[in-house]
Structure 1
């Protein structure tokens, strides 16, 4: 049966008709009805029985989590066999090389630094035990955000670290697949995935103070479990699912008008209006520099062309529900699907700041965002492709800048009346609840790839934007010395500021510096240090700080946070240590050095 022929026939069906016939079919029993459907599809490439039954089982009028309906779907896919027997048969033809097992937060996993080529590489317990990691540098850890097993994936780990079940060399010759084995699955899967999509559309307008997206996501738990069970049958079933998700023509035939002039057509028209309304309400990226407004991943409007693209949209909209995240990640062993998912994720990436800020539980959502992104950006070739084709680095930095630009306050170092510098307000939700963490985690992840780091280091605009972001952290959370009474508890901003500098500044800095291994990076390092000196001079001018002095009243105020100073110190150290660059060639003018020393020295002097 041709995929295109089946797609065209299904698109014309009406899920609200022939319900009496469906009842009669149910009376024949699951096995007999499923066998009849398989026989029709095998002989004709089309099954009226299948469409009548699916119209009833997948009707939006029915309880989405009805266990009996879900069981019927499993039997239909099984084509006259029991679901367990069918699953075993499909698995017997599984030729996949990668594990891809997905786990949720608080699950034990392993990371082997000897075998890994990416710092984010991780493997499940079974693959670790079946592999040979004797005398390797490995650790067992409790996953914070969830993850997926990388065993068998040469893009993130060495082949010698694979377990006995995974890797190209371990693929067995399973023999030819029977021509009619997957015909029912191929005809049914578009309808199954469409039903899940319509569930998210239906509940978009239902969000009130008493109803939240978590409830809507929970309502599809059993249905998502069914789809994951199908995926876990292996490569044959997974490919049918992923092909449905990434096929633009399939999406067009399922959800685009014109719709039939009947009850089903009216329902689909209403569904489309809800979808369009959700698109309009979805936050668009803010504060995009004019020169980057036309970048595809920074567009104000979202246009979806596949089921996968709309699923990603609803995943963002519903704040990354765990069951949907696991479903999408379970299909990552399909490389074509993985690239489509990564590309779609990047196209929605600039919306993450707004979604996090609006979330009632940004900490949980942050973990779920990283659960997805770490699987996509740990592959160096794929990350580099997104950088080159969709300007991923620009998108990440602009998104970070946009997030913190909304919480700037006047800096109070030195004389506040003469200080024109603005810094982040550490009392705001973005800082106190670490809403920025997924973005800086992803940024640090992609910078761990040497070829991606080279793109960053060679692009003056990226470097300039990054130091603009760091300038917003420079001198944040000014502390005032208390001399009259004991301070029993440190304010919460204290922790927020230190966490931000560590996660958003220090981690990326060490990732960048780790690639500056020899004299071939000397000119790039000098360029970056010149940028830093210029930004530091601008910062001093904004503070109206022109002479190396410390007034008595200024001694009572100090900040611990000078990321531009730390970057300059780290790059100078690396240049001297690994590139044999003379200090005389890179140090700023003596008068500038004196000015730069004063604020770090004030931290020590103020608290003595």
Structure 2
């Protein structure tokens, strides 16, 4: 689907006050006509000498740092959204912790009162996320002043601070997934061009995944730049990713070839993840992001982006369920990776660390674990799919003996 088609979706999906935005659009059209009449062609850009410095300043709006400070005034998230990769320095306070996996970022630890507590500073081995504000794993006495139920709260965020960015972020996510949807097409091209080269199946998958994500990573990092602005933007991103009406509209565009369906059909070379027990319905952008997170071998920057939004409670619940609902596909990926890579490769261990980075953020909460068991029977799902892995290995071994 052409990215410009998403303009048609604004009135009925993400924007709650349609009349106000329609009025704003009409005003912008009038301004555009006035500029053209005054010989200010909009397509001429920065090189048009008709735009003097004062007019450029008005069109540019406030500097990004000023915009950041304006948003920070309304950043009153209950939980911290800091996420870090491996070898990052974090803190753990066993006096305040309900869970031994609890960790705090430097800012939250230093802005809280841990005087006289039993704490340590450590290098994170598999990456992590800050638990400040999370009453499931940390005593509220260990929260910093910015997080938790007693944090300083501001009024609602003015819509003019987030409306334009909401529109931009929605387009960026659609652009990101359109880039990822080229996976099966790229694989077919690669197979046609290199059919005489003895690549193994998994090596081909890794190679294609790297090409795709090299193109997509810039978009991920750009989105991350805005998510780092804090709670108001995190809530906007969570709304976009969970909007089922938006996703339905995107899938029903007439000029949208179903490249995602092609990727789904090509997703498994081993375990049957198309069985009724493992069937997954993809109903929002988060669902598709999860599929490509797995398909592209869990790239760290995409993990960081998706974990940063966990401070939104509705998103965290959906995210946790989707992670374990996709467990068959995750096991399939790891199984094929171990089967195809040469002995002694570090990639399986590195992939495992990246997956653990996600699972620890989910399973550290007893309430989330109970919800997962009640909602999707997570224990049975993990055990059933682990048994499938052993069954598949046994089947391969039997075939080898028969040969």
Fold conserved between structures, TM > 0.5: yes
Q: Secondary structure at the match of 1:345?
A: helix
Distance 2:63 2:284 in 1: 32
2:45 — aligned with what? none
Q: Secondary structure at the match of 2:137?
A: coil
Contact 1:93–1:175 (Cα < 8 Å) also in 2 = yes
Distance 1:79 1:404 in 2: 60
Contact 2:179–2:215 (Cα < 8 Å) also in 1 = no
Question: What 5-or-longer segments of structure 2 have no aligned partner?
Answer: 12-19, 33-55, 191-198, 342-346, 398-403
For 1:314, which of 292, 313, 320 is the aligned residue?
292
Q: 1:144-159 counterparts in 2 under 5 A?
A: 144-159=125-140
For 1:235, which of 231, 234, 239 is the aligned residue?
231
Q: 1:78-121 CA distances to partner (integer Å, 9 max, x unpaired)?
A: 98222222122111111112112000111121222221112221
Q: 1:455-502 CA distances to partner (integer Å, 9 max, x unpaired)?
A: xxxxxxxxxxxxxxxxxxxxxxxxxxxxxxxxxxxxxxxxxxxxxxxx
Number of paired residues? 332
Distance 1:176 1:352 in 2: 39
Contact 2:137–2:365 (Cα < 8 Å) also in 1 = yes
Contact 1:114–1:138 (Cα < 8 Å) also in 2 = yes
2:264 — aligned with what? 279
Distance 1:45 1:378 in 2: 46
1:131 — aligned with what? 112
- Using a 3 Å threshold, how does the CA distance of structure 1 residues 228 and 196 change in structure 2: closer, same or farther? same
Q: Does 1:401 find its partner at 2:379?
A: no
2:252 — aligned with what? 257
2:158 — aligned with what? 178
Distance 1:165 1:176 in 2: 17
Q: Does 1:330 find its partner at 2:308?
A: yes
Q: Secondary structure at the match of 1:223?
A: helix
1:44 — aligned with what? 24
- Using a 3 Å threshold, how does the CA distance of structure 1 residues 11 and 253 change in structure 2: closer, same or farther? farther
- Report the structure number with the largest CA radius of gyration: 1
Contact 1:113–1:138 (Cα < 8 Å) also in 2 = yes
Q: Secondary structure at the match of 1:394?
A: helix
Contact 1:145–1:371 (Cα < 8 Å) also in 2 = yes
For 2:102, which of 105, 108, 121 is the aligned residue?
121
Shift in Å at residue 285 of structure 1? 8.2
For 1:82, which of 50, 63, 78 is the aligned residue?
63
Distance 2:249 2:26 in 1: 17
Q: 1:385-413 CA distances to partner (integer Å, 9 max, x unpaired)?
A: 1111101000111122222233349xxxx
Q: Secondary structure at the match of 2:298?
A: coil
Considering only aligned residues, what root-mean-square deviation do their CA atoms show, in Å? 3.0
Question: What 5-or-longer segments of structure 1 have no aligned partner?
Answer: 1-5, 13-39, 53-74, 260-264, 410-421, 423-608
- Using a 3 Å threshold, how does the CA distance of structure 1 residues 119 and 204 change in structure 2: closer, same or farther? farther
Relative CO higher for 1 or 2, CA cutoff 8 Å, sep ≥ 6?
2
**TM-score, normalization by structure 2:** 0.75
- Using a 3 Å threshold, how does the CA distance of structure 1 residues 345 and 79 change in structure 2: closer, same or farther? farther
- Using a 3 Å threshold, how does the CA distance of structure 1 residues 387 and 225 change in structure 2: closer, same or farther? same
Q: Does 1:357 find its partner at 2:352?
A: no
Q: Does 1:165 find its partner at 2:151?
A: no
2:8 — aligned with what? 9
Q: Secondary structure at the match of 2:74?
A: coil
Q: Does 1:221 find its partner at 2:214?
A: no
- Using a 3 Å threshold, how does the CA distance of structure 1 residues 79 and 191 change in structure 2: closer, same or farther? farther
2:400 — aligned with what? none
